[in-house]
Amino acid sequence: MIHRQSRNELALILRQYVAGLKTNDDLDNVVVDCRDRGAMAVKQEAWFLYDDNYQHRAIGQHSIGRSDRREIARMILFLHSNKEYLWPDYRTVPIFDFTLNLFTVGLWGKKAHFKYKQFVEAGDFKAWPFISEIELEHALVNPKYLAGI
C-alpha cells in the first residue's frame, strides 16, 4: 500500500535534512503509516544517516557525503514514485544477540545471515528501494518534479 502523505512528508524532511535545513530530530520524528512498507523501509534506512545521541543538522562534521547523497536521492525518487515496495521484510539494523547465538549453538547467527542473503537476492540491490534497475530507470525518465521542462 502506498500512503502518499507519509511518503511526501518523509521525502521533504529527508531532503531538508540533507540540505542542512532540518535537524536529525525532525527526521526522526516523521511519522509514517506502517502500512506503507516502502516509507517504513526508507525511514529505517535513513536512521543510519545521523547520530541520534544529540540534535544536529547535516552540516560540518555531520554533512552527508557524495555517495550517500546519491543513495538518498534514489530514496527520495522512490518516495515520489507510485511504486510498491517489493523487497521482503528485513531489518537493516543488525541486531546480533550474543546470548541467543550462544544458546542456539550458532543457529541464530546462521538464520540472520540466511535472511540477509535472501533479502539481497530478492532484487537488484544497487537499485534499492526500487526492486530493479528497470523500475529505477523508469522513475528517472518520468520524474514527478520538473517533468515537461
Query: Do the Cβ atoms of 46 and 76 come closer than 8 Å?
Result: no
- Give bridge partners of residue 23 from the DSSP assignment: 57
Query: For the segment 2-31, what is each residue's pLDDT rounded down to a tens digit?
Result: 999 999 999 999 999 999 999 999 999 999
Whether the full predicted model's pTM is greater than 0.85, yes or no, is no
Separation of alpha carbons 107 and 129, rounded Å: 29
Cell of 34: 506502517
Query: For the segment 40-55, what is each residue's pLDDT rounded down to a tens digit?
Result: 999 999 988 888 889 9
Separation of alpha carbons 96 and 88, rounded Å: 20
